């Protein structure tokens, strides 16, 4: 079926459309109710269906005779290790790990935090939870203890699964001290921590609380798949909001499994036996959807890569992995290609490898800037799909659908809405605008399967943050426009979230941390353009009266505070002292103008500004410090 027909059908007759798509997966009990409302009045899919997501990702394929096919390929240039799992081997490993969790008292509905580096055991842990109906919450390994503690308190895990260390290029990151510090900070205490001992750096276990992963799994009996309701949560994944407290995005089992299966074929054109590589981390939504669940549900082999696009060992790493495993679809953030381009501008390293199996390159996570698109296009000469989505939706809201009929590409556009997503551009009063007019990108309800139904433990926040602004719509937080051919152009966030190297971060959270410094009276953290990472945070700081502190010392202390509190991944490296911050007469900091100034973009002085002269002052300070590009 062509795109138009498919899209029309999904919007005009969503129930019939998704009923048909639901037959892609093997339910334990097929749903009769396709779309209904839950107790919160939220649209839900397949309410009376029963299934098990790990069964769909593993056992089902073994039963279909694909037990000897590769399921997971682990490639770790940072340790020099490679390991593969067939579907049978991965099923066996997951069943044992699930049995180990059961022996530790974990059951259906219990939460398990997974704080792991990119080793196959991270996927095994996720799938083991899914197998017994437990809810996993994976926390990105680059987060500092404080971030982990916030998630421990919000998710109340019975068990935490972790490892002795991670490896950043050539640097060992000891996980155990981070875990211990986080548990100390948190009010909630897990009953058990299961620690995977890596040979690169073992750790001491805490008596009475920690157990050795390998020993516990060896002693466990395999556990069977527990049937769960389509509406039961599969996982909670925290993502940055505009405040210091991250939001626990909830994913249910039924809608998610259908969306993963559907998107794998329609968006990515991947089929059983194909090799798919999402070069991300299981700590992010890309890792959940397209390293673990979707490729396995689709019967593909997924590449699990513990390394970077550069420096492990060089900028040919992506091409080496694609050639070695016959990758058909490569998915990464644009920042990864910018890093490769920086080190290998002529892309000479790609010529060393046989890329004949590589069909398509997919990019998401941040805006795909035209120079990066052009560079990949020129040197790799494969279709490039820029697709746009977010943690909340779990799969692409818009893209170029390789499994339907790929459309012509328009520079700067993420192409067309995915079937199921009724994308509308709204004006500030919530009215749809005309083609080519900018506004807030919203999705008319119902959201398709796979999207979040709530925020973990805080349904009011879900309603207030996403559904409350415009009745009948979910707001994405991004602004943009649809052109007259329904091509979507995403222009950036309308809130204070920034995107650093494809990682979503809250400037509000950074402001809280910076403002906590004893010398700081007030501050604003904004996103400044970065050639490598897309955006990088910049702090503008107002000192308390009478404080005498050297600016360089203050900057170092602020950088350290953010590193200690969020983690190195925040990439907070710059802070400057200003005399005044631009504010409205009612005292609200005008962050958008600050962003415009820092990025040397044109702006209109807001009519509500209290003290327009401060804008020129800030412009001069940033210029002097080399923090603002010159005209
Ligand atoms: N554990 C511990 N620390 C981590 C980490 C992890 N899992 N991931 C990143 N960090 C640290 C880095 O070591 C770095 O520390 P430093 O400031 O001490 O050097 C810091 O966090 C910033 O990391 P990053 O932004 O990744 O910068 P980088 O210079 O190490 O690498 C890129 C730059 C572009 C190569 C890298 O960002 C990249 O590969 N990006 C792809 C992003 C991606 O996959 N996003 C997912 C969405 S699709
Ligand atoms: P995350 O939830 O971490 O995946 O971040 C989602 C946000 O990243 C979106 O709301 C966008 O702001 C941004 N984003 C993701 N993909 C794209 C893309 N292809 N183009 C532009 N922005 C994107």
The overall average pLDDT reported for the chain is: 97
Atom of ligand 1 nearest to the CA of 166: 1
Over pLDDT 90: what percentage of the chain?
95
Distance between CA atoms of residues 410 and 266, nearest Å? 20
Instruction: Supply the pLDDT for residue 475.
Output: 98
Q: Are 292 and 285 in contact (CB under 8 A)?
A: no
- With respect to residue 48, please indicate whether it lies within any of the assigned structural domains: no
Q: Could you give the number of structural domains in the chain?
A: 2
Q: Exposed, middle or buried: residue 345 (CB in 10 Å: 0-12, 13-18, 19+)?
A: exposed
Q: Ligand 1 mean position to 238 CA, how many Å?
A: 18
pLDDT in tens, 524-561: 999 999 999 999 999 999 999 999 999 999 999 999 99
Q: Are 84 and 103 in contact (CB under 8 A)?
A: no
What pTM value is reported for the model? Answer: 0.96
State if residue 366 touches ligand 2 by the CB under 6 angstroms criterion.
yes
Please list the residues that pair with 523 across neighbouring strands. 541
- With respect to residue 603, please indicate whether it lies within any of the assigned structural domains: yes
Four-point Cα dihedral 559, 561, 566, 571, nearest 10: 0
Q: Ligand 1 mean position to 576 CA, how many Å?
A: 24
Q: Phi/psi zone of residue 298: left (φ > 0), alpha (ψ -120 to 50 degrees), beta?
A: alpha
Q: Ligand 1 mean position to 52 CA, how many Å?
A: 34
Distance between CA atoms of residues 132 and 110, nearest Å? 10
pLDDT in tens, 185-194: 999 999 999 9
Backbone angles phi, psi at 58, to 5 degrees: -130, -75
Please list the residues that pair with 522 across neighbouring strands. 542
Which of 226, 241, 272 corresponds to the end of one domain? 226
Instruction: Supply the pLDDT for residue 630.
Output: 67
**Pairing mode of beta strands 384-386, 360-363:** parallel
Backbone angles phi, psi at 275, to 5 degrees: -105, 125
State if residue 426 touches ligand 1 by the CB under 6 angstroms criterion.
no
- With respect to residue 142, please indicate whether it lies within any of the assigned structural domains: yes
Confidence of residue 631 (pLDDT cuts 50, 70, 90): low
Q: Ligand 1 mean position to 533 CA, how many Å?
A: 10
- CATH number at 178 reads 3.40.50.980
- Distance in angstroms between the alpha carbons of the first and the last residue of the chain: 50
- With respect to residue 420, please indicate whether it lies within any of the assigned structural domains: no
State if residue 413 touches ligand 2 by the CB under 6 angstroms criterion.
no
Backbone angles phi, psi at 202, to 5 degrees: -80, 170
Which of 226, 243, 264 corresponds to the end of one domain? 226
From 497, 502, 568, give the residue whose CB has the most ligand 1 atoms within 8 Å, as the site to mutate: 568
Instruction: Supply the pLDDT for residue 457.
Output: 97
- With respect to residue 389, please indicate whether it lies within any of the assigned structural domains: no
pLDDT in tens, 415-452: 999 999 999 999 999 999 999 999 999 999 999 999 99
Distance between CA atoms of residues 237 and 233, nearest Å? 11
Which of 226, 247, 274 corresponds to the end of one domain? 226
pLDDT in tens, 381-419: 999 999 999 999 999 999 999 999 899 999 899 999 999
For ligand 2, atom 20, name the residue with the nearest CA: 367
- With respect to residue 102, please indicate whether it lies within any of the assigned structural domains: yes
Residues 6+ apart with CB under 8 A from 243: 506, 508, 509
Q: Does 294 or 588 have the greater pLDDT score?
A: 294
pLDDT in tens, 84-102: 999 999 999 999 999 999 9
Range of the domain at 589: 501-624
Instruction: Supply the pLDDT for residue 628.
Output: 85
Neighbour count for residue 403 (Cβ, 10 Å): 17
- Which helix (DSSP H) or strand (DSSP E) does residue 153 occupy? helix 145-155
State if residue 614 touches ligand 1 by the CB under 6 angstroms criterion.
no
Q: Ligand 2 mean position to 477 CA, how many Å?
A: 10
Confidence of residue 629 (pLDDT cuts 50, 70, 90): confident
State if residue 142 touches ligand 1 by the CB under 6 angstroms criterion.
yes
Confidence of residue 611 (pLDDT cuts 50, 70, 90): confident
- CATH number at 618 reads 3.30.300.30
- With respect to residue 409, please indicate whether it lies within any of the assigned structural domains: no
- With respect to residue 43, please indicate whether it lies within any of the assigned structural domains: no
């Amino acid at each position: 079926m062509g795109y138009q027909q498919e899209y029309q059908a999904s919007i005009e007759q969503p129930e019939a459309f998704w009923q048909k798509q639901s037959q892609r997966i093997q339910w334990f009990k097929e749903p009769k109710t396709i779309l209904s409302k839950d107790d919160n009045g939220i649209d839900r899919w397949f309410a009376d269906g029963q299934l098990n997501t790990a069964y769909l990702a593993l056992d089902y394929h073994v039963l279909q005779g694909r037990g000897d096919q590769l399921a997971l390929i682990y490639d770790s240039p940072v340790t020099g290790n490679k390991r593969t799992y067939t579907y049978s081997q991965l099923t066996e490993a997951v069943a044992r790990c699930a049995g180990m969790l059961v022996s530790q008292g974990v059951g259906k509905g219990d939460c398990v935090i997974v704080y792991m580096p990119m080793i196959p055991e991270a996927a095994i842990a996720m799938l083991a939870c899914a197998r017994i109906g437990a809810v996993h919450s994976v926390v990105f390994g680059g987060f500092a203890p404080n971030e982990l503690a916030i998630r421990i308190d919000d998710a109340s895990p019975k068990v935490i699964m972790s490892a002795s260390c991670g490896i950043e290029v050539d640097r060992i990151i000891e996980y155990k001290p981070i875990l211990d510090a986080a548990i100390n900070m948190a009010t909630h205490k897990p009953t058990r921590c299961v620690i995977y001992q890596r040979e690169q750096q073992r750790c001491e276990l805490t008596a009475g609380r920690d157990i050795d992963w390998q020993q516990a799994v060896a002693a466990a009996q395999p556990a069977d798949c527990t049937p769960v309701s389509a509406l039961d949560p599969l996982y909670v994944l925290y993502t940055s909001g505009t405040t210091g407290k991250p939001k626990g995005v909830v994913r249910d089992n039924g809608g998610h499994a259908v969306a993963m299966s559907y998107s794998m074929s329609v968006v990515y054109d991947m089929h059983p036996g194909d090799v798919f590589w999402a070069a991300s981390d299981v700590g992010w939504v890309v890792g959940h959807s397209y390293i673990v669940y979707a490729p396995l549900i689709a019967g593909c082999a997924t590449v699990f890569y513990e390394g970077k696009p550069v420096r492990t060992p060089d900028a040919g790493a992506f091409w080496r992995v694609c050639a070695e495993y016959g990758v058909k679809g490569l998915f990464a953030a644009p920042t990864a290609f910018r890093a490769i381009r920086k080190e290998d501008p002529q892309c000479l390293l790609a010529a060393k490898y046989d890329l004949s199996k590589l069909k398509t390159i997919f990019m998401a996570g941040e805006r795909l800037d035209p120079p990066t698109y052009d560079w990949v296009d020129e040197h790799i000469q494969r279709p490039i799909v820029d697709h746009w989505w977010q943690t909340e939706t779990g799969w692409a809201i818009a893209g170029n659908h390789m499994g339907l009929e790929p459309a012509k590409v328009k520079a700067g556009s993420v192409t067309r809405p995915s079937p199921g997503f009724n994308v509308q551009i709204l004006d500030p009063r919530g009215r749809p605008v005309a083609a080519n007019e900018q506004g807030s990108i919203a999705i008319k309800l119902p959201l398709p399967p796979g999207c979040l139904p709530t925020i973990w433990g805080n349904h009011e926040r879900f309603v207030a943050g996403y559904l409350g602004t415009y009745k009948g719509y979910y707001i994405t937080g991004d602004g943009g426009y649809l052109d007259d051919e329904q091509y979507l152009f995403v222009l950036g966030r309308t809130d204070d979230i920034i995107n650093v190297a494809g990682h979503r971060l809250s400037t509000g959270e950074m402001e809280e941390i910076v403002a906590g410094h004893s010398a700081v009276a007030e501050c604003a953290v904004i996103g400044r353009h970065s050639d490598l990472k897309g955006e990088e945070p910049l702090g503008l700081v107002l000192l308390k009266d009478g404080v005498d502190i050297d600016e360089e010392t203050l900057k170092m202390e602020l950088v350290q505070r953010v590193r200690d509190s969020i983690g190195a991944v925040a990439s907070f490296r710059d802070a400057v002292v200003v005399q005044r911050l631009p504010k409205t007469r009612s005292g609200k900091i005008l962050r958008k103008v600050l962003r415009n100034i820092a990025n040397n973009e044109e702006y209109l002085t807001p009519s509500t500004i209290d003290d327009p002269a401060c804008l020129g002052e800030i412009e001069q300070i940033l210029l002097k410090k080399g923090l603002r590009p010159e005209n």
